[in-house]
Amino acid sequence: MPEARRRQLIEATARCLAKHGLAGTSVRTVAAEAGVSAGLVRHHFEGMHRLVAETYRSTGKEIAAIVAAALDAAGVEPEARLRAFIDASLRPPLLDPERLAVWLAFWSLARSDAEIRRIHARVYREYVRMIEEMVAALAAAYRHPSDPRRAALHLVALLDGLWLEHCLDPETFDATEAAAIAHRWVDALKAGLA
């Protein structure tokens, strides 16, 4: 039961961050969102800082699980895996304005909060490593010399930019358009141009 309650509070925190941003998310707003007392929030977490950090960890794990499922379904062929990764990244539930708003709140905290910065560094490092491995496998399959780390950073920047723009204005483009942009990047990588 304590783990279920902690999960409930983490989910309520994510909803509050999406609705109110960091400035509007407090023990009181999380408690109201979860339908519990503020004391219960403090009982399970030492305060908002700890709760936001746990929400970041949890959100990172959820995203990793969604991506892992897409990669498992894609099989072992390098191009199929990279394209499945892109498709999973640029459609719901990941390309969701509320989820992106939560992620944006975490990004903004990473500049000023040491614990969030450490979580961000770990999540980002793992994310880039995974993309780097897929890029290296695809480049090797097409026998193109490449710098997998630099190419991975290109793709990360492209995806982050698409996520950010979609978070700011979901009407800018839809999931199909976003995926088409990223898939053109894969086509360039296959041609030895990325």
Q: Can you spell out the DSSP letters for the chain?
A: -HHHHHHHHHHHHHHHHHHHTTTT--HHHHHHHHTS-HHHHHHHSSSHHHHHHHHHHHHHHHHHHHHHHHHHHH-S-HHHHHHHHHHHHTSTTTS-HHHHHHHHHHHHHHTT-HHHHHHHHHHHHHHHHHHHHHHHHHHHHTT----HHHHHHHHHHHHHHHHHHHHH-TTS--HHHHHHHHHHHHHHHHTT--
pLDDT given at position 118: 94
Contact 103, 59 (CB under 8 A): yes
- Please give the model's pTM, rounded to 2 decimal places: 0.88
Q: Compute CA 27 distance to the chain's CA centroid, rounded to the nearest angstrom.
A: 24
Per-residue pLDDT reduced to its tens digit, 147-168: 889 999 999 999 999 998 988 8
pLDDT given at position 194: 66
Does the pLDDT at position 140 exceed 70?
yes
Share the mean pLDDT of the chain.
92
CATH 3.40.50.150 for domain 53-190:
no
Tell which residue, 13, 3, 15, has the closest CA to residue 51.
13
So where are the chain's domains?
A: 53-190
Give the pLDDT band of residue 14 (cuts 50, 70, 90).
very high
